[in-house]
Amino acid sequence: VVEAFSGASLFPCGPGSREWEYFDGKCYYFSLTRTSWYKAKAQCEEMHSQLAVINSYAKQSFVMFRTRNERFWIGLTDENSEGEWEWIDGTDYRTTFTLILSLPRFWKEGEPNNSGNNEDCAHVWISGKWNDVYCTYECYYICEKPLPN
């Protein structure tokens, strides 16, 4: 049986979205320019997406491989209450995989440390480890969105 060619299988994130990468049921955009966390959040929203929420080992591994020691914003902040980290989509930071999977060390050693009492946004760097940094720092960013209908 010969299956008909499907554009959806070639470009699961949509034929006009070649800069988006498919992974595990979602689409990811890795920016080519650096900007602040707030501007990155807005850029993702303009593309009908959000800053990436890392809620599984698989996604962490994908991000770790894909970012290759560059710094990329993720959708994690404690700007509302110091030390109370929150994912931008409301996913519970404490009860997702960090608790279920025995508190894996995704934070770089010694992080988050709120250096200078001013580090409220998180990015991935150095082998995919997370670090808190001031939100106006400029680095790349990762957006994610569901597959198009």
What the block records as the tokens of 42 is: 């807005």
Residue 14 falls inside a structural domain: no
Tens digits of residue pLDDT in 128-143: 899 999 999 999 999 9
Residue 96 neighbours by CB distance under 10 Å: 15
How far is C-alpha 126 from the chain's CA centre? 15
In this structure, is residue 30 part of a structural domain?
Answer: yes
Report yes or no on 34 lying in a domain.
yes
CATH number (domain holding residue 125): 3.10.100.10
Extract the runs of DSSP E, i.e. beta strands, from the chain: 20-23, 26-30, 50-51, 72-77, 86-87, 121-125, 129-133, 140-146
Residues belonging to the chain = 149
Q: Are 145 and 51 in contact (CB under 8 A)?
A: no
Which pLDDT score, from 0 to 100, does residue 99 have?
Answer: 52
Domain around 37: 19-146
Q: How many domains does the chain divide into? A: 1
> Is residue 107 a part of any domain in this protein?
yes
Task: Look up the pTM and report it.
Answer: 0.88
pLDDT digits (tens, 9 = 90+) for 13-61: 988 788 999 999 999 999 999 999 999 999 999 999 999 999 888 899 9
